[in-house]
Structures are given as structure tokens and as C-alpha cells.
Amino acid sequence: MSQSNIQSVEGVEIEETKLKNSKSLWDHALENIFRDKMAVASLFIVGFYALISVLSATGVIAADWAVEVGPSYSAPGADYLFGTDIFGRSVFTKMIKGTEVAMSVGLVAAIISVCIGVVLGSIAGYFGGKIDELIVWFYTCFQSIPTIMLLVALSFVLGRGLVSMYVALGLTSWVNLCRLIRGEVMRHKNRDYVQAASALGGGHSRKLIKHIFPNVSHLVIINFSLMFQTAIKTEVILSYLGLGVQGRPSWGTMIDDAKLELARGVWWQLGAATLAMMIVVLSLNILGDALRDALDPKLKGK
Amino acid sequence: MKKFTTLFTALAILVGFASCTKKEEETGKTLNIAVSADIKGMDPIYANDRYSSNEVGRVYEGLLEYHYLKRPYTLVPNLAESMPTVSEDGLTYTFKIKEGVLFHDDAAFPNGKGRELVAEDFVYSIKRLADPKLQGLGWWLLDGKVKGLNEWREKHSDLPKVDYDEVVEGLKATGKYTLEFKLTKPFPQFLYSLAMPFTFATAREVVEKYGQEFLNHPVGTGPFILPTFKQTKKVVYTKNPNFRKKLYPSEASEEFKAAGFLADAGKELPLVDRVVVNVIIESQPRWLNFLKGKVDFISIPKDNFDSAVTPDRNLSPEYKEKGISLLINPSLDVTYTAFNHDLKLFQNADLRRAMSLAYDVKKSNELFYNNTSLPAQSVVPPGIAGNIPNYTSPYRGPNIEEAKKLLAKAGYPEGKGLPEITYDCPSGTVSRQIGDYMKQQLAQIGVRIKVVTNPWPELQKKITKRQVMLYGIAWGADYPDAENFLQLLYGPNKAPGANGSGYNNPEFNKLFKTASIMQDSPERTALYEKMNRIAAEQAPWIYGVHRQNFTLRHSFLKNYMSTDFETGQAQYLNIDTKMKAKAVEKL
């Protein structure tokens, strides 16, 4: 095992960086990303969405989403950018307010799931033995429960609302990351640099946090962006099913409304919600891919 | 007994006709009916849903029925010779039953010939309903009401065999054709229970011969015969050749006279030779069958409403050309938003009134019912005694000014001091939208609402356990008597009874207690109206609407109207075969 490690790709990489005046993995990554125009555009779009959410959360924009601006079901046009809904509210404002929900759910759920995944994964990978067995057993059991059923059950237990949405989505999406981290930590824990750290008297936590974690953190970043978009999609599905956020617009509830409205030819709620969701999910996917290209040493040069 | 329905229950019970082959069309009049749910079986005592009871009503008959062409709904004798004589104290009902009524021919009878119906058959059938071993689903109807019947039921629940020969004091055949009921207390709605399929006449020989299989061997006295019932998608009834001479009514309410419902007056029933019932569960196949003329009438599926009905409540020309016509009938129901009166907050009548005034019912009718419903002024729907025609509740919104004044009077100027009020409703898009609308409306006067959606069983549980503040729900009639609606506000009926809101007004309770044991009379109607007025002025609920049924029918179907009590309707329907041949070509 240790032999193959010495000849691993990363070893080669370290030599390479030395030659080019010690450029770090992160410098490379940034360079690669900025070279990729699609990735930059995606990053920009995601940033724009984040900005909108912050503005809407602070009440600068879309605070008046509940106000009736015109007659029911006005078609999109000069007066109403994306038309109006059943109560004559602006679909455009609702879409923006929905962005806030989607982005916050994506962010918080991804953070929760990353925390759980990283902690459990690194503990399992690093300590091995009984602890590893226990954690592996736990997540295997956990994953055998169909996610959507688990989500529904959790939303019943926690009640409805934004907070329970964060928790439910966070709690159901950490297993994949946990697996990856566990494997990666296992590979790293016997490496020379970790052994050097222990030779210098580093404790478990020092080795794990200070030495191993930075070397597996690219996995976290890649997974974070993918989890982000999964959480957004799941939030939409749950809201569509009536299990999501209550009392405020969400893309899911907009699509739920639209399922009845379509029979009378009202397509703009569906259109607005889907468009908004499609753009952000696509951007996050492209960004995730670009991050993987940039950060995963195995893909270097491909 | 509980017939709660969700607010958005679509006008969903679709009945129609599916055509037969050409050859059959030539031989006679065939009625093809489509129903939207599987039929449970043909035993009257288990017919507790609309689908089974309609089928039971084709084969079996009861003492009484609703006059087909009279509104408000009026009970008339069916197997009874005349309406019963009721004793002074209102406790003893004596029926004279028709002589010479024959059961359908069946192997269970001597020589296979149907025997004559006697009073003892009703005694037997009603005892069957009370039979503890059979667990009939309609027992609630007579529970505690007939003298000695409860005792009989309890006694036999422990015995190995139920003895039908033991005489029950309150249920006796005093002669071959006379039947006597003795009640434990006055119960004027008793007669309605004799028009419900639960109490229809069955023959003892048949039940005993088929045993468990009786469910599939209906033998009644009714207009149609079904030799055996099989759980299939198509049930075919034929005309009963020995049906007694029963004539199509020659009297009718004005509205039916004007609509030509008397064209068949005096003709012998049934008017068609065959009834074919098709079970089509999905609404779209049912709709398509209707459009092809294979289904003669259909309640418009929600998804097809906009294509079938123009915004001004007319049928779209496309369908008009095909000879289809649109029938709009109010249904006996009321939708409402109830306050939980257990909470101190809602014992404040001015707060309730203010909230009721802030709610724009006309707009909600427009948004959620395609403008097809009638805004409810109080609890009793139009069409039954107790509803006050042209009455407008003083607290029927929208009147934001007045609402704000009342809110201040209630002690919450501009909504200050009010907690956030939760509104529970079933999950489902329309229910959620109705909740959002309530929220929006009440926000105008500063009342904050939080909409909580629940699955249907969970909502029911929450209401029973009093864990709600406001909730949106509806009620459909069991029988055409205001009592069935007013009991929703009767204090002692508090949850888990039908009064989910827990409204308890001593004055109302007293009136209800008096009226509920009175026979139908102008005095009782006056009491009902008084209660109805209290129910409007005290605003124990925010009233919603009385919904309407939108039904389409083909030109060749005669005498059809949508009714709240469909049992036995098939015998009055007629098919114009010539017109059908022509109309089908156009479809």
C-alpha cells in the first residue's frame, strides 16, 4: 500500500509545483477555473443569485410580494413582467422571494450535510477498527431508507417551515460525502507527512485537522456545490408536495399552483419558477464540474 | 353520519352512460350509467357509500322515498300505502304497506316465483340492520331510537345465534300489512331513515338460502333485476316484469314543470328496459366516453371545467352543437372556516364578526369555485326548510371599515394585541390557496394568519383533539333537514361529535333541543330560521359557500336532473332512442 502511495500522482504533482516556484494546489485551481469561461459565468450567476437572496432577505427587494398588483392571471407583458398569479400578485416578485428560500435552503442544508459527512467520514477513516465499523454500519442502514420517505417523515416530526427544511435536507444528504472522505482519509493517514507529524508529537486531532483535512478538502468543495443544487431541487419537490415552506413563496409552491392553472392556459408561474431553478441548478452543476477539474489531481491534464 | 367533505372535493361523482352495441340499441331503451368507484356489494345494510347505495336502490325499495319532482325534498310513500299515522306523543308510527307487491323471482322462493311482500319483511330487514353479528354499517341511524332494539342487539351479541323470532317491542308487524314502530323519544328525522337504503326490504328466505353470498344475490321488490352481482366493470340490470303498477308522478315543482319533466307523467315505471352500470374510475376516460355518447350524463371533471363551461356559466358552443346541455344544481352543503370556541380569544363575538366581515366571499367564489357557488349567509343551505331566502347576514363581508371598527371594539385596534392565528386546512393545492386567501384577506384589518396544511386524517385528528385555532372544512347533508346542519353548532355535540368548533351558546342549544324533537311544521321551521339567524349574527364560523353541481347530459336522456338523493332515480329516466340515433351520428 505504502509503495503505491509513493508513486501516486500527488507525489508527481508536488515535484511539479516546486519547479514552478511553489504554486499551491489552490493557486492552480484558481488559475484553471478562471481560464474556463463557462465556470466563470456560472460563478457569476451563482453570486448574482446569492446577492438577490441577501437583498430579499434583508427586505431591500421583493418585500411587497404579497401585495396585489393587478387582476388575477394577467399575462406577462409590459405591466407585469412575468404576469400575475391567482390573487393578482406579481409572479416576478414571487420568483425573487422564492430565490431567497431556495438559496438559503441550498446553503444551510449543504453546510449541515458537509459538517456531518466530514466529521463522521474522517473519524471513521482515521481511527478505523470498531469505530469505522460502527459508522459504516450506521450510514449503510441510513442510506437503505428511501430518501423521500425519510424527508417526509422528518418534515412530520419537525413540523413545517424553513428551519425544518434545512435540517431535513441536511440530515438526508451527507452519506455520499461521508463515504468519500472516509476513503480519502484512509489513504492519507499512513502517508509520510502524517507519519512525520506524529513523529514530531502531533496528536490525533492535530494530524486530522491540520494535516489530513486540507488534503481532502477539495472533495468537500466539489461536493458542496453539488449538494447545494440537490438541496434546491429537493426543496422544490417537497414544496410541490405540500411539505415544504409555508406561508411564503417558493418555486415548488409556484409549480404546485401551476399544475391547476395550466388547464386554463396560465403558464407563467411554471415558466418563471422553472427558469429560475434551471439557471441556478445548471450553473451550480457547471461550477461543480469545473471545481472538480481544477481540484481533483487525478483529472489533471485531461 | 359524518359527512365532512374537503373544501375542494371536486364536483366529482360522475355518473354516465356507456352505450351498448348497435344491435342492443334497436331492441329497446337502455340506460348506461358510469360510476366512478367500485361497488362494494348489493346488501342494503352495508350500503353506506354513495356508489353502493345507488346500486342497492335499483333492486331494493323502502317504505318511503323522496318525491322525484318536488323541491324542497318531500317524502312520499313508496312501499307504504300512505304516510304513516303518528301518535299524539310522536312516538308510535303506524305504516300500512302496499298489498300485492312481489319480490323478484328467485330460486329461494317456492316454485321460483317471487312471493308477496308483507310487513314482517320490514321487521326482519331492520332487525338485520341491528344484528350484532352482521355489523351493519347503518346501525347509527337507529341506535338508541327504537324501543327494545338496542336491548335485542346487546342480548344477542353474546349468544351464539341471533334469534330473529324474538319480538322487539318497538318494531312489530301488527297485521299482514301493518307495521308499527315505537320510538324511545321523539325523533322526527326518523322518517328520513326509512328512505335510506339501510332500511330497504329484504326477504328472509333469500338471505337464509344464500348466507354469505347474499351480498351478491340481490332479490328485492324494485324496478330492476340483477340475478347475480359480480365484481366487474359492468353491471347489467333488466326491467322487472312483475313490477307493481307505479306511475311517473304527475305533479311537480314549478321549475320542473317549466323544464318539461312532466312529459312522461302517468306512464308506468320504469321507463327503460335495461340499465348498464359501467365502473370507470379515471375521470378522463369517463369524460371521453361521455363525449362519444357512451355516457349520457356526467358531472364535469374539474380539469375539464374551463373547456366545457364559458365564463358566463353557459355551455361552450362546441358542446351545445352536439345537443349536450348543462345542468346547474345547488348541492346541500356548506363550506366554512370554524373558530375553535374553546379558546378564550374566539369567545369574543366582535372579533369573530370583524374577521367574518373582512373576508370577501364573492372574490373567493370567483377564485376557487369558478364563480359557481352561492355565498353562504348562515349554516343551512338553500333548498331545505330553515334557510331564509334573500337573507343577508349583517356580518357578511367584505366591509373593511366596519370590520376595523369591530376589531377595535373587540379590544384589538388594528390587530394590536392579537397573537398569530393558525389556519389549518387539508393539504392540496386548492386548500392551500384558500388558506393563503384567508391570510391575505385578514391581513387587511391587521389580523395575522399562518396557514398550516395537514393530510386529511391528521386534520380530523387535530380537530377532535382541539389543537386548532381556525380551520377550513365543509359539510354535506345526510338528509334534507336543517337539523343535520344545525347540529354542527349544538353545544353537546362538541368534538368528537360533529360540532368540531365547540360552539356552545345556551340560547341556541335550548332552541335546538326543542326543535329537534318537533315534527315538521311551520313552528319548527320558524325555530330553525331563528337558529339560522343566530348562527349568522353570532358568527361562530366564517361562512364560505354552498356549492353547486355542474352536470352535462345528452339530448336523448329525458327526465334527468342532478339530485342530492339519487337512490332509485334510474326508474324515472327515459331514453329517446330516435334522438339518440341521430345525436350519436353527430358526436
Q: Is the peptide bond before A249 cis (omega within 30 degrees of 0)?
A: no
| Model confidence at A256: pLDDT above 50 | yes
Q: Check residue B8 and give its pLDDT.
A: 43
Work out whether the CA dihedral B119, B124, B129, B130 comes out positive or negative: positive
CB atoms within 10 A of CB B58: 27
Which of A132-141, B378-387, B576-585 is predicted most confidently? A132-141
* Higher per-residue pLDDT: B124 or A70: B124
Residues of chain B with Cβ-Cβ distance to A255 below 8 Å are: none
Asked which of A237-251, B115-129, B530-544 is least confident by mean pLDDT, the reply is: A237-251
From chain B, which residues contact A within 8 Å (Cβ)?
Answer: 303-307, 366-367, 427-430, 432-433, 436-437, 439-440, 443, 450-453
Residues of chain B with Cβ-Cβ distance to A264 below 8 Å are: 306
Cell of A53: 437572496
Write the residue in A247, A257, A264 that is nearest to B450 by C-beta: A247
pLDDT per residue as tens digits for the range B457-504: 788 788 888 889 999 988 878 788 888 899 889 988 786 677 889 999
Q: Check residue B308 and give its pLDDT.
A: 87
Q: Is A158 exposed, middle or buried (0-12, 13-18, 19+ CB in 10 A)?
A: middle
| Model confidence at A8: pLDDT above 70 | no
Chain B residue with the nearest C-alpha to that of A244 = B453
| Model confidence at B138: pLDDT above 70 | yes
B358: nearest Cα among B414, B401, B406, B397: B397
Q: Cβ–Cβ of A256/B439 closer than 8 Å?
A: no
CA pair distance A252, A151, nearest whole angstrom:
15
Chain B residue with the nearest C-alpha to that of A253 = B429
Q: What is the mean pLDDT of residues A154-174?
A: 85
Q: Cβ–Cβ of A259/B430 closer than 8 Å?
A: no
Q: Where are the beta strands (DSSP E) in B344-417?
A: 374-375
Alpha-carbon distance values, B354 to B357, B375, B407, B478 (Å): 5, 18, 5, 32
CA pair distance A159, A163, nearest whole angstrom:
9
- CB of A67 less than 8 A from some CB of B: no
Q: Please provide residue A207's backbone torsions phi and psi, each rounded to the nearest 5 degrees.
A: -60, -45
Give the containing element (helix H, strand E) for A130. Answer: helix A129-144
pLDDT per residue as tens digits for the range B394-407: 998 789 999 999 99
Q: Check residue B424 and give its pLDDT.
A: 92
* Candidates B360, B432, B442, partner chain A, best to mutate (most A CBs within 10 A): B432
Q: Cβ–Cβ of A263/B306 closer than 8 Å?
A: yes
pTM of the model: 0.70
Q: Cβ–Cβ of B432/A256 closer than 8 Å?
A: yes
- CB of A85 less than 8 A from some CB of B: no
Q: Check residue B4 and give its pLDDT.
A: 57
Residues of chain A with Cβ-Cβ distance to B441 below 8 Å are: none
Q: Inter-axis angle of helices A91-127 and A251-261, to 10 degrees?
A: 130
- 3-state SS class at B275: strand
Q: Cβ–Cβ of B433/A257 closer than 8 Å?
A: yes
Q: Check residue B372 and give its pLDDT.
A: 82
Q: Cβ–Cβ of B436/A259 closer than 8 Å?
A: no
Write the residue in B366, B429, B440 that is nearest to A256 by C-beta: B429
Name residues whose C-beta falls within 8 Å of residue A199's C-beta, 6 or more positions apart in sequence. Answer: none
| Model confidence at B576: pLDDT above 80 | yes
* Higher per-residue pLDDT: B586 or B147: B147
Q: Check residue B409 and give its pLDDT.
A: 92
B125: nearest Cα among B103, B92, B158, B99: B103
Shortest Cα–Cα distance, B449 to chain A (Å): 9
Q: Cβ–Cβ of A87/B437 closer than 8 Å?
A: yes
ipTM metric: 0.72
Q: Is the peptide bond before B317 cis (omega within 30 degrees of 0)?
A: no
Instruction: Check if the beta carbon of residue B559 is closer than 8 Å to that of residue B296.
Output: no
* Higher per-residue pLDDT: B144 or A193: A193
pLDDT per residue as tens digits for the range B35-80: 887 888 899 998 877 788 899 999 999 999 999 998 878 899 999 9
Write the residue in A66, A247, A257 that is nearest to B429 by C-beta: A257
- Spatial strand order of the sheet with B325-330 comes to B297-299, B548-553, B325-330
- CB of A247 less than 8 A from some CB of B: yes
Instruction: Check if the beta carbon of residue A77 is closer than 8 Å to that of residue A68.
Output: no
Write the residue in A87, A242, A263 that is nearest to B428 by C-beta: A242
Chain A residue with the nearest C-alpha to that of B364 = A87
* Candidates A90, A264, A266, A270, partner chain B, best to mutate (most B CBs within 10 A): A264
Asked which of A21-35, A69-83, B310-324, B516-530 is least confident by mean pLDDT, the reply is: A21-35
Q: Cβ–Cβ of A256/B450 closer than 8 Å?
A: no
Cell of B320: 351545445
Residues of chain B with Cβ-Cβ distance to A242 below 8 Å are: 427-429, 432, 453
Q: Check residue B19 and give its pLDDT.
A: 36
Residues of chain B with Cβ-Cβ distance to A263 below 8 Å are: 303-307
Q: What is the mean pLDDT of residues B341-369?
A: 91
Chain A residue with the nearest C-alpha to that of B439 = A247
* Higher per-residue pLDDT: B262 or A298: B262
- 3-state SS class at A90: strand
Q: Cβ–Cβ of B436/A87 closer than 8 Å?
A: yes
Q: What is the mean pLDDT of residues A228-236?
A: 91
pLDDT over 70 percentage in chain A: 90
| Model confidence at B7: pLDDT above 90 | no
Residues of chain A with Cβ-Cβ distance to B304 below 8 Å are: 263
Residues of chain A with Cβ-Cβ distance to B367 below 8 Å are: 72, 86-87
Shortest Cα–Cα distance, A212 to chain B (Å): 47
Q: Check residue B282 and give its pLDDT.
A: 73
Residue pairs between chains A and B whose CB atoms are closer than 8 Å = 40
Residues of chain A with Cβ-Cβ distance to B450 below 8 Å are: 246-247
Q: Check residue A263 and give its pLDDT.
A: 66
Q: What is the mean pLDDT of chain B?
A: 87
Q: Check residue A298 and give its pLDDT.
A: 67
| Model confidence at B267: pLDDT above 50 | yes
Q: Cβ–Cβ of B452/A246 closer than 8 Å?
A: yes
Cell of A98: 422564492
Residues of chain A with Cβ-Cβ distance to B451 below 8 Å are: 246-247
Q: How confident is the model at residue A300 (pLDDT cuts 50, 70, 90)?
A: low
Q: What is the mean pLDDT of residues B416-442?
A: 88
Instruction: Check if the beta carbon of residue B272 is closer than 8 Å to that of residue B255.
Output: no
Write the residue in B303, B367, B453 that is nearest to A263 by C-beta: B303
Shortest Cα–Cα distance, B473 to chain A (Å): 18
Residues of chain B with Cβ-Cβ distance to A153 below 8 Å are: none
A:219-238 residues touching chain B, CB 8 A cutoff: none
Q: Check residue B303 and give its pLDDT.
A: 66
Q: Check residue B562 and give its pLDDT.
A: 85
* Higher per-residue pLDDT: B583 or B72: B583
| Model confidence at A7: pLDDT above 70 | no
Q: Check residue B13 and give its pLDDT.
A: 35
- CB of A64 less than 8 A from some CB of B: no
Give the containing element (helix H, strand E) for B283. Answer: helix B283-291
Q: Check residue A245 and give its pLDDT.
A: 81
Q: Where are the beta strands (DSSP E) in B240-358?
A: 274-279, 297-299, 325-330, 333-339
Q: What DSSP string describes B316-347?
A: -HHHHTTT-EEEEEE-SEEEEEEE-TTSGGGG
